[in-house]
């Protein structure tokens, strides 16, 4: 179907061609037999297709039955097919594999029971027709899974369970085509030769073995007379795959030689020879069809980790840039440690500097040793600014007192420096521990399940448009929401909107750009398909003084894991310095979180930066809400921040706790709590400039049943705070509001 999308640009033309292909397929598989028995293959596919395609499947099948004169031999199949089409029209477009399987199995069972009670099924035929119930159930389930994969616009994945679903559908379709003979030509046998060679050429030995073996199973199920040809298909595919790097003519020759030997060594019947000739026709078709392009359009199979290795390298480089400040801080600390001075014992130091050079040293320290030591001990124990007299009879009492003052003052500074160095050492060890946690978290992200073949597909697509891609990764959430993570080389002017448009056109999936970051010569772009929950935001601020900037700062951003963040920071005091501190905290926090760090680890690093950035005491609060856009679960982190109001259903919850701001203590510990939200809920982050008397007013506005505009709500709360403060609030006021809604695809 993706080939059809590339050939035709108009949606109407694409729809028409798809319906024609569906009708032709219905005509071919309507007479499908396994071991000479009709199977409910049209019923299974009709149950898995959209209503319009199911109706076309019914029309094509009826046309084949009328044309072949077999309508009187398949009344139960027709009845089951009609029931499946009706059920699909009643249930609509919902694409759930289990639902499709239930429709097919139930329709087949009802048809068998109806005709059985009517006396049209006798003896052992009951068992034969009842076997069709689980067959139709399983085929419909596998077809629904394949359709689910195709709806994402990507090639079919042959890893894991998807390979099983594709294999079952392949065998069923090939068996149906093998049972349809056109004079001496057998479409299924021709396609088996073509597809086995194509798989061997594109995917080497593994592709040749798998495709050849599945084709052999389909031929045997359709007609056991061609067993001689089917027996060697898997071997022929494996040998052809070994020479897959040869030119097409060489691969074709190897395949035909192996099949020829196999036919000669088995029963050389007319059916076997005819199957060999049909396989040869498929091989000739292989010579003239662009196999690589066809394979890349339909499916991907890759056994290399090269792309993920490049992705790991790109991520590590981004993370190393994020912790660059930690390394610089450690270097400064080492320099401080090297310049630290020792602490002296005052009495011994003064005796060395003053008494040792005095002419009465022997008299004071030998004759009057006890009295001198007591006096020195008293002078050493006195405070720095406390005046003390020297020993009686001292020749230099002023010099002695002055030297004691100087040594004690110097020791006080040395002790202060030592304490400061100890604190800095603790910060250093903390930073090293944070770096270790950061790398461990990044290594854990590398174990995330990525779709390697889809990632390579995205990379190849963009490179065809001349977009230099270093690495690409595609993964899905549990709800099948797709995330594309790109690392692009900035060789030319490249906008994220352009990349998004390219991928939307190629994948036929609406995408939304969630993150764009540039570091050095690379650009990181994160795209995500629609689904889950969306977060709408609005903000309002007012400063204490109109001629100064607001000392609060706020930010909203996303990370590559599908989380949305609301953040508010309030700098100490108001005005320009407070605004600088608040912006600094939010900037570093955002950079670290978007690089892959956890919120608490990122806050610890920001706290270390604020503690060491200057000699002055400067701090800022940090209020963060992390929202999982897949589950609408909210996680709150508060570092000395103001209250947060959450409206969930008919209840309004106030989240508030006493914690320390960022930049006060070496260990920043937050107040944290989690809440489960749903569509229609509101979140209000408030700076501490709002008085608690405002809470009842905000609660009334949130519980208002009328239509509410988010921006109007934020402005109303901010304006109410100004009115209550008579136009001059005691502190800067910031209101950051958010609304949780369902994320729907944009309308055309």
For β-strands 633-639 and 181-182, DSSP reports them as unpaired
pLDDT at 122: 63
Q: Mean per-residue pLDDT for 711-733?
A: 76
Task: Verify that 525 and 540 share a domain, yes or no.
Answer: no
Q: Which tens digit of pLDDT belongs to each residue from 22-59?
A: 888 788 777 666 666 667 788 888 888 888 888 888 88
% pLDDT > 90, the chain: 5
| Average of per-residue pLDDT across 591-620 | 78
- The answer on 337 and 280 residing in a single domain is no
The answer to whether residue 284 sits within a structural domain is yes
Task: Tell me if 316 is assigned to some domain.
Answer: yes
560 and 681 together in one domain: yes
Strand partners, 149: none
Residues 735 and 586 in one domain: yes
Q: Which of 287-301, 510-524, 615-629, 720-734 has the lowest mean pLDDT?
A: 287-301
Per-residue pLDDT at 140: 86
In a 3-state reduction of DSSP, which class is residue 641?
Answer: coil
Half-sphere exposure of 91 (CA within 13 A, CB side): 19
What 3 state SS string does 349-413 have?
HHHHHCHHHCCCHHHHHHHCHHHHHHHHHHHHHCCCCCCCCCCCCCCCHHHHHHHHHHHHHHHHH
pLDDT tens digits, 141-163 = 888 888 776 665 444 555 556 67
Q: What is the pLDDT of residue 5?
A: 47
Same domain, 521 and 558: no
Is residue 318 over pLDDT 90?
Answer: no
Q: Which of the two residues, 218 and 682, has the higher pLDDT score?
A: 682
Identity of the highest mean pLDDT range in 12-21, 229-238, 421-430, 440-449:
229-238
Is the pLDDT reported for residue 300 higher than 50? no
| Average pLDDT of span 222-245 | 80
Name all contacts of 691-699 with Cβ < 8 Å and 24+ positions apart. 691/721, 691/724, 692/643, 693/724, 694/720, 694/721, 694/724, 695/643, 695/645, 695/654, 698/645, 698/652, 699/645, 699/652
Task: Between 535 and 297, name the one with better pLDDT.
Answer: 535
Three-class DSSP category at 154: coil
- For residue 305, name the pLDDT band (cuts at 50, 70, 90): very low
- pLDDT for residue 567: 93
**Are residues 260 and 358 located together in one domain of the fold?**
no
Alpha carbon distance, N-terminus to C-terminus of the chain: 21
Mean pLDDT over 200-224 rounds to 80
pLDDT, position 680: 87
| 681 compared with 310, residue with greater pLDDT | 681
Q: Which DSSP category does 746 fall into?
A: P
Q: How far apart are CA 699 and CA 647, in angstroms?
A: 8
Q: What is the mean pLDDT of the chain?
A: 76
With respect to residue 748, please indicate whether it lies within any of the assigned structural domains. no
Q: Quick one: 242 and 349 in the same domain?
A: no
- Whether the per-residue pLDDT at 739 is higher than 70: the answer is yes
User: Is residue 91 domain-shared with residue 198, that is, in the same domain?
Assistant: no
Interior CA angle at 209 toward 208 and 210, to 5°?
95
Q: pLDDT: is 244 or 211 the higher one?
A: 211
| 240 and 339 belong to one structural domain | no
CA distances from 503 to 162, 443, 481 (A): 23, 28, 16
Number of domains within the chain: 5
Identify whether 116 is part of a domain.
Answer: yes
Residue 124, pLDDT score:
59
pLDDT at 518: 80
CATH of the domain at 732: 3.60.40.10
Residue, of 737 and 611, whose pLDDT is higher: 737
- Residue 361 pLDDT level (bands cut at 50, 70, 90): low
pLDDT at 679 over 50: yes
Mean pLDDT on 360-371: 66
Provide the pLDDT for residue 30. Answer: 77
Per-residue pLDDT, averaged over 328-333, amounts to 57
* Residue 93 placed within a domain: yes
pLDDT of residue 637: 94
Same domain, 323 and 419: yes
Mean pLDDT on 190-211 = 82
> For residue 630, is pLDDT > 70?
yes
Using the 3D structure, point to which of 257, 277, 301 is the last residue of a domain: 301
Instruction: Say whether both 673 and 594 belong to one domain.
Output: yes
Q: Residue 451: inside a domain, yes or no?
A: no
273 versus 393: the higher-pLDDT residue is 273
pTM of the full structure: 0.51
Please check whether residue 272 lies inside any domain of the structure: yes
For residues 681 and 650, is the Cβ–Cβ distance under 8 A? no
Within-domain flag for 12: yes
Residues 205 and 350 in one domain: no
Rounded Cα gap, residues 310 and 294, in angstroms: 27
pLDDT digits (tens, 9 = 90+) for 71-101: 666 777 788 888 888 888 888 777 788 888 8
Report the pLDDT averaged over residues 271-293: 80
**Domain extent for 318:** 310-446
> Is the model's pLDDT at 190 over the cut of 50?
yes
Count CB neighbours of 98 within 10 A.
Answer: 12
Tokens read off for 683: 């979140």
- pLDDT > 80? residue 491: no
pLDDT over 60 at 200, yes or no: yes
| Burial of residue 612, with CB atoms counted within 10 A of its CB: 0-12 exposed, 13-18 middle, 19 or more buried | middle
Is residue 402's pLDDT more than 70? yes
Residue 16: the pLDDT is: 79
For position 523, which CATH number holds? 3.30.30
| pLDDT band (50, 70, 90) for residue 304 | very low
Residue with the bigger pLDDT between 139 and 317: it is 139
Closest CA to 540 of 693, 319, 694, 434: 694
pLDDT at 436: 56
More confidently predicted of 165 and 554: 554
Q: For position 475, what pLDDT does the model report?
A: 80
| pLDDT given for residue 416 in this prediction | 67
């Amino acid at each position: 179907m993706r080939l059809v999308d590339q050939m035709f640009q108009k949606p109407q033309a694409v729809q028409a061609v798809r319906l024609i292909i569906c009708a032709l397929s219905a005509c071919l598989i309507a007479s499908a037999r396994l071991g000479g028995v009709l199977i409910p293959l049209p019923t299974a596919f009709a149950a898995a297709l959209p209503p319009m395609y199911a109706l076309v499947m019914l029309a094509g099948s009826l046309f084949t039955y009328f044309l072949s004169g077999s309508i009187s031999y398949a009344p139960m199949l027709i009845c089951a097919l009609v029931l499946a089409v009706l059920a699909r029209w009643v249930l609509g477009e919902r694409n759930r594999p289990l639902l499709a399987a239930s429709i097919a199995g139930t329709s087949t069972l009802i048809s068998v029971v109806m005709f059985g009670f009517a006396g049209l099924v006798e003896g052992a035929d009951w068992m034969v027709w009842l076997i069709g119930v689980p067959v139709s159930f399983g085929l419909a389930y596998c077809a629904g899974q394949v359709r689910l994969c195709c709806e994402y616009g990507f090639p079919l994945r042959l890893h894991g369970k998807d390979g099983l679903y594709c294999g079952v559908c392949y065998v069923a379709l090939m068996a149906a085509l093998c049972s349809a003979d056109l004079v001496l030509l057998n479409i299924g046998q021709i396609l088996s030769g073509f597809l086995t060679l194509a798989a061997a050429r594109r995917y080497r030995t593994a592709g040749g073995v798998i495709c050849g073996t599945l084709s052999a199973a389909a031929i045997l199920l359709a007609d056991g007379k061609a067993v001689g040809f089917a027996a060697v298909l898997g071997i022929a595919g494996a040998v052809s795959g070994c020479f897959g790097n040869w030119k097409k003519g060489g691969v074709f020759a190897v395949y035909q030689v192996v099949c020829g030997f196999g036919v000669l060594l088995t029963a050389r019947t007319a059916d076997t020879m005819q199957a060999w000739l049909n396989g040869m026709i498929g091989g000739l078709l292989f010579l003239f069809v662009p196999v690589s392009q066809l394979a890349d359009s339909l499916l991907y199979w890759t056994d290399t980790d090269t792309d993920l290795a490049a992705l790991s390298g790109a991520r590590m480089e981004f993370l190393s840039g994020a912790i660059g400040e930690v390394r610089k801080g450690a270097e400064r600390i080492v320099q401080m440690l090297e310049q630290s001075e020792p602490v002296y014992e005052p009495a011994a130091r003064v005796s060395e500097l003053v008494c040792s050079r005095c002419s009465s040293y022997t008299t004071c320290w030998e004759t009057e040793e006890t009295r001198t030591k007591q006096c020195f001990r008293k002078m050493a124990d006195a405070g720095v600014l406390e005046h003390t007299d020297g020993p009686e009879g001292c020749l230099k009492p002023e010099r002695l007192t002055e030297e004691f003052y100087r040594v004690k003052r110097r020791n006080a500074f040395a002790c202060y420096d030592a304490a400061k160095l100890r604190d800095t050492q603790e910060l250093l060890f903390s930073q090293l521990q944070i770096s270790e946690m950061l790398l461990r978290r990044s290594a854990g992200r590398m174990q995330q399940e990525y779709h390697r073949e889809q990632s390579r597909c995205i990379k190849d697509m963009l490179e065809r448009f001349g977009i230099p891609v270093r690495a690409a990764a595609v993964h899905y959430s549990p709800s099948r929401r797709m995330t594309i993570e790109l690392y692009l080389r900035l060789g030319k002017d490249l906008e994220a909107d352009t990349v998004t448009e390219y991928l939307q056109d190629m994948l036929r999936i609406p995408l939304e750009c969630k993150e764009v970051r540039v570091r050095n010569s690379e650009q990181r772009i994160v795209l995500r398909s629609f689904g889950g929950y969306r977060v709408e935001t609005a903000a309002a601020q007012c400063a204490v003084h109109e001629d100064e900037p607001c000392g609060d700062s706020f930010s909203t951003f996303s990370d590559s894991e599908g989380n949305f963040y609301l953040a508010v920071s309030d700098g100490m005091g108001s005005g320009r310095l407070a605004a600088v501190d608040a912006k600094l905290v939010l900037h570093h926090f955002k950079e670290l979180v978007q690089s892959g760090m956890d919120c608490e680890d990122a806050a610890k690093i920001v706290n270390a930066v604020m503690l060491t950035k200057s000699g002055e005491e400067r701090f800022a609060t940090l209020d963060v809400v992390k929202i999982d856009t897949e589950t609408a679960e909210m996680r709150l982190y508060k570092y000395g921040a103001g209250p947060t109001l959450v409206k969930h259903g008919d209840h309004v919850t106030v989240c508030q706790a006493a914690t320390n701001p960022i930049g006060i203590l070496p260990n920043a510990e937050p107040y944290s709590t989690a809440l489960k939200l749903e569509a229609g809920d509101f979140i209000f982050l408030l700076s501490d400039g709002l008085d608690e008397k405002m809470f009842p007013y905000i609660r009334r506005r949130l519980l208002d049943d009328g239509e509410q505009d988010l921006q109007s709500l934020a402005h109303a709360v901010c304006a109410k705070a100004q009115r209550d403060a008579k136009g001059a609030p005691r502190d800067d006021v910031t209101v950051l509001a958010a609304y949780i809604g369902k994320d729907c695809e944009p309308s055309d």
